[in-house]
Amino acid sequence: MNNVNEINHRRRAFLQKLSHTLGSAAALSVATGSGISVAFAYTPRADSANNPGLLFSQMQMQILSDICATILPTTTTKSAADVDCHGFVDHQLVQCHSEQQQKICIDAVSLVSENAQSAYGDVFSNINEKQRIKVLEDIEARTSATREQKEQFSFLKSLIVFGYFTSEEGITKATNFQPYPGGFKGSIPVTADTKVWGSLNYY
Amino acid sequence: MNEKLYINETREQFDVLVVGSGVTGGWAAKEFTERGFKVLMIERGRVVEHRKDYPTEAKPAWTFPNRTKVNDLLTEQEYSVQSKCYAFNDTTKHFFGNDRDLPYSTEDGTDFNWIRGNQLGGKSLTWHRQTYRMSDYDFTANKKDGYGNDWPIRYKDLEKYYGYVEKFVGISGNTDGLKQLPDSDCLPPFDMKVPEIEAKKRMAENFPDRPMVIGRAAHLSSPSQFHIEQGRMKCQARDECQKGCSLGAYFSTQSSTLPAAVKTGNLHIAPNSVVHSLIYDHGKNRVRGVKVIDAQSLSTREYFGNVVFLCASTIASTQVLLNSKTRARPNGIANSSGVTGHYLMDHCYNARAQGKLPGWEDEYYSGRRPTGIYVPNFQYTPEKYKKNYVRGYALGGEANRSDFKGRATNDGIGADFKNSLTKPGAWHFGFYAQGEMLPKFDNQVSLSSSKTDRWGMPQLHFNVRWSDNEKAMMDDCAIESEKMLRAIGCEDIQTSVSYHNSPPGSAIHELGTARMGRDPKDSVLNAYNQAHDIPNLFVTDGSSYCSSATVNPSLTFMALTVRAVEFCVEEMKQRRI
């Protein structure tokens, strides 16, 4: 007979880890299912890159911030780093993803760091924008990454993209916010200025 | 909170007890109260008031802690089953049951997803709102091919009730003139997108037996004066329905049937009342009321009525039926047939196909349409069955331009990549299967002999599996869907079948565990949803179905409920109840 509500061992390990990171009181509140949104509500911060995250070290947070700014840079709208996507990714990985997925992202950040060192002899944060783009493009082109490493990077990238396009900037500025469409029209023309609708309220 | 409306302890003898407040409970309450009967609606969950209790409505994604995703640990501990529902997320989770408090078991080698909505309004708040009539091909399928018992009713028996509920509910849709999908009494349809109009043409050329129509949905595309008087407004195409809709633009108990029932002054509601069992008078062979456990205090109370309508949803009504027993009737007081809990069905949604649709780059749409396109079952009669399985499937689907989600892992770094994600992406067209599941005696839900829940109710044990018929159907559907997408003009078509990892229950169309029938020996209910064994007991939710058909079941159980009420009132007049 199967017990439908069985809790697996991975979760217990995760809880133990959380209690190290956050203190046992916070972990207990997670365990009992109360106070989660209060204890863990994510709000964008300006200084995430200068502090260790829940998952990433301070140095990794800085690199992650620069990865965010490189993938989705400032254009007519703010960059992913400007809206603290690195803080979001760190938070979201702990809240909504498995340890395996957390490790994938840590490995991806390490890969970027190592590739910057071997290509330019400096840390990712110190090389110029063109060089940063080249480091990331080389991973995607698999000239400096295995297939598996590229997939790991892609997963991290998808989280950054998700974080950006579900941020207030991403929804209301980068895309076309339509909270009350007023009804459905099956056909509207597309012009050079047409932006994608960006107002799904759940994912 | 309205003190007169909501009650707890009472000694009143009601005309009718309605157990459940979802789609069928709302209809039963409306129909009885409008005819002047005093009704107590009994709901196991908390009160949810229209407009006031939709706390997440219109809140954008960035205001949620995890951008509308639910914390992993919370999901695992409290929503391990509910999270399997497509509509479950951080904006809707308060309208889903807590799996930790609502345990059940499954037979080894089987699995079942039981999605719960234990609050006033039930799953009418979170339903998918697709509304189709069943045809005579559906009502005669069991008789023609021999699987399951014959429905004791035909289309003509339900036709006027379909029309009656449709007018009240408000159904957007087309008049399509298809014999396999009888037309509804509809409000204007939602637009098809331009590539969908073209796909419909190409389907007609290549697969003339498979017409494509716009999905019919319980949305006020253009409210009539009648709906406006109900306090309901036009659908804004937000497509956030499962958070609750203050506009009342889709049908729910709260937006539609409940206000009508409340207006009569004949309705009372007992929230937080978990029905444990029916109180049975052996001498008179009548149910006298229900025994209730308070959801919070766990104290016991009783409610009394002249008639009981079980409208608690298929599985929950079945649990009450099985738990209502006497020494003389140890398997349930309305279970002389022994079929209560058997013949559990769902729909099999386990095949899908999607492809990229080149072109139409200068075409877009505005708003989030709350329905899709629909290809009704085209294997609706035995002459049209495939060789290796019986019955058929309908297809839901849609054409869409991709947003950032579909392109997040595309190659690209920097400003060009970012800008590309701010533009509408390529068109894609997808189909997903809505397959009929055969009624089988072995597919059963039963009471655990040893385990109870926190209210002292015996837990449920599920033994349900997809048969080879459903699996063969899904395999075929994936192949056929690919052919259809190719005919429509798609490229890079991907298909998948998922019956290995998506068990019964996943479509949230549980049906059949207290089925209707002509013969009391092989059915629980008669043609009017009245228990064969007990004249003043009716069950009008999905448990009464003899077959699943392929269409979404809600509209039919609305019509069945109204018909059952009308019959019951006549029986009361004739003093047979």
Do residue B69 and residue A95 have CB atoms under 8 angstroms apart? yes
pLDDT of residue A39: 43
For all residues of chain B together, what is the average pLDDT? 97
> Is the pLDDT at A18 greater than 50, yes or no?
no
Contact B421 A196 (CB under 8 A): yes
CB B173 within 8 A of CB B334: no
CB B520 within 8 A of CB B385: no
Smallest CA–CA distance from B67 into chain A, residue: A166
Q: Which residue has the higher pLDDT, A103 or A14?
A: A103
Q: Is A46 on the interface with B (CB under 8 A)?
A: no
- Chain A: nearest CA to B94, how far in angstroms? 13
Nearest to B41 by CA among B12, B24, B21, B14: B21
Which among B67, B76, B234 has the least Cβ separation from residue A11?
B76
DSSP-assigned beta bridge partners for residue B537: B308
- Chain B residue numbers with beta carbons less than 8 Å from the beta carbon of A37 are 65
User: How far, in Å, are B151, B390, B464, B524, B552 from residue B437 at the CA level?
Assistant: 16, 10, 11, 20, 13
C-beta separation of A106 from A60 below 8 A? yes
Q: Does B416 touch chain A (CB under 8 A)?
A: no
Pick the residue from chain B with its C-alpha nearest to A3: B105
Please give the structure tokens belonging to residue B104. 């059940």
Distance of CA B431 to the CA centre of its chain: 20
Supply angle C-alpha A159, A160, A166, rounded to 5. 85
Q: Say whether B236 and A182 touch across the interface (CB within 8 A).
A: yes
- Whole-number pLDDT of residue A2: 59
Among candidates B58, B108, B418 on the partner chain, residue whose Cβ is nearest the Cβ of A1: B108
Q: With cut-offs at 50, 70 and 90, classify the pLDDT of residue A41.
A: low
Instruction: Please identify among residues 54-83 of chain B the ones whose CB lies closer than 8 Å to any CB of chain A.
Output: 58-62, 65-74, 76-78, 80-81
Q: Is the pLDDT of residue A128 over 80?
A: yes
Within chain B, all domains assigned CATH 3.50.50.60 are found at 1-48+105-169+252-346+443-465+510-577
What residue in A sits closest to B399 (Cα-Cα)?
A186
Among left, alpha and beta (phi > 0; psi -120 to 50; other), residue B210 is beta
Q: Any chain A CB within 8 A of the CB of B405?
A: yes
CA-nearest of A66, A179, A155 to B62 is A179
Q: How many degrees, rounded to 5, is the angle at CA A123 between CA A119 and CA A129?
A: 75
Residues 128-167 of A with CB under 8 A from B: 133, 136-137, 140-141, 154-155, 157-158, 161-163, 165-167
How would residue A45 be classed by pLDDT, with cut points 50, 70 and 90?
confident
Query: In the predicted model, is pLDDT for residue A20 greater than 60?
Result: no
B424 touching A, CB under 8 A? Answer: yes
Interface probe, candidates A5, A142, A154, chain B, greatest B C-beta count within 10 A:
A5
> Which tens digit of pLDDT belongs to each residue from A157-194?
999 999 999 999 999 999 999 999 999 999 999 999 99
Nearest residue on chain B to A8, judged by CA atoms? B76
pLDDT for residue A32 is more than 60: no
CA distance to B112, B140, B242, B388, B482, per residue, from B385 (Å): 28, 14, 36, 8, 19
The pTM for the full model equals: 0.94
Residues 113-172 of B with CB under 8 A from A: none
Tell me the chain B residues in contact with residue A97 when contact means C-beta distances shorter than 8 Å.
72
**pLDDT tens for each residue of B170-195:** 999 999 999 999 999 999 999 999 99
Residues in chain B with CB shorter than 8 Å from the CB of A194 are 364, 423-424
Please report, in angstroms and rounded to a whole number, the separation of the first and last CA atoms in chain B.
Answer: 35
Domain B1-48+105-169+252-346+443-465+510-577, what architecture? 3-Layer(bba) Sandwich (3.50)
Res A38: pLDDT: 41
Task: Kindly state whether A54 is in contact with chain B, defined as any CB-CB distance less than 8 angstroms.
Answer: no
CB distance from A168 to chain B under 8 Å?
yes
Tens of pLDDT, residue by residue over B315-337, are: 999 999 999 999 999 999 999 99
- Structure-token pair, residue A21: 């990171």
A203/B78 touch (CB, cutoff 8 Å), yes or no: no
Which of A28-37, A132-141, B156-165, B419-428 has the lowest average pLDDT?
A28-37
pLDDT for res B406: 87
Q: What is the least distance, in Å, from the CA of B447 to any CA of chain A?
A: 14
Q: What six digits make up the tokens of A35?
A: 């106070």
Helix (H) or strand (E) holding B397: strand B393-401
Residue A35 has pLDDT above 80, yes or no: no
Structure-block tokens of residue A100 = 């395996």
**B238 and A179: CB-CB below 8 Å?**
yes
Query: To probe the interface with A, which of B69, B418, B421 has the most A CB atoms within 10 Å?
Result: B418
CB-based contact B366 A185, cutoff 8 Å? yes
Cβ contacts (< 8 Å) between B58 and chain A: which residues?
179, 201
Interface probe with A: pick from B62, B114, B448, most Cβ of A within 10 Å: B62
Token pair for B254: 């709260």
pLDDT for residue A116 is more than 70: yes
State the pLDDT confidence band at A44, using cuts at 50, 70 and 90: confident
Contact pairs from chain A to chain B, CB under 8 Å: 233
In this complex, do A203 and B193 lie within 8 Å of one another by their Cβ atoms? no
A33–B74 C-beta distance less than 8 A: yes
Residue A138 C-alpha, separation from nearest chain B C-alpha, in angstroms: 10
Q: Who among B361, B367, B414 is closest to A183 (CB)?
A: B367
Question: Does the structure show a pLDDT above 80 at A78?
Answer: yes
Asked if the Cβ–Cβ distance from A184 to B367 is below 8 Å, we say yes
Q: Determine whether A123 is exposed, middle or buried from the number of CB atoms within 10 Å of its CB (0-12, 13-18, 19+).
A: middle
Enumerate helices (H) and strands (E) in chain A, giving the number of each: 9, 2
Domain ranges of chain A: 8-40, 42-203
Q: What is the ipTM of this complex?
A: 0.94
* B453 touching chain A per CB within 8 A: no
How far is B418 from chain A, CA to nearest CA, in Å?
Answer: 5
Percent of chain A with pLDDT over 70: 78
The helix (run of H) or strand (run of E) holding residue A187 is strand A185-189
pLDDT greater than 90 at residue A30: no
Query: Measured over all CA atoms, what is the biggest interatomic distance in chain A, rounded to whole angstroms?
Result: 60
pLDDT below 70 — which residues of chain B? 1-3
For B152, the token pair is 């004791």
Whether A195 and chain B come into contact, CB under 8 Å, resolves to yes
Question: Which residue does chain A place closest to B400, by CA atoms?
Answer: A186
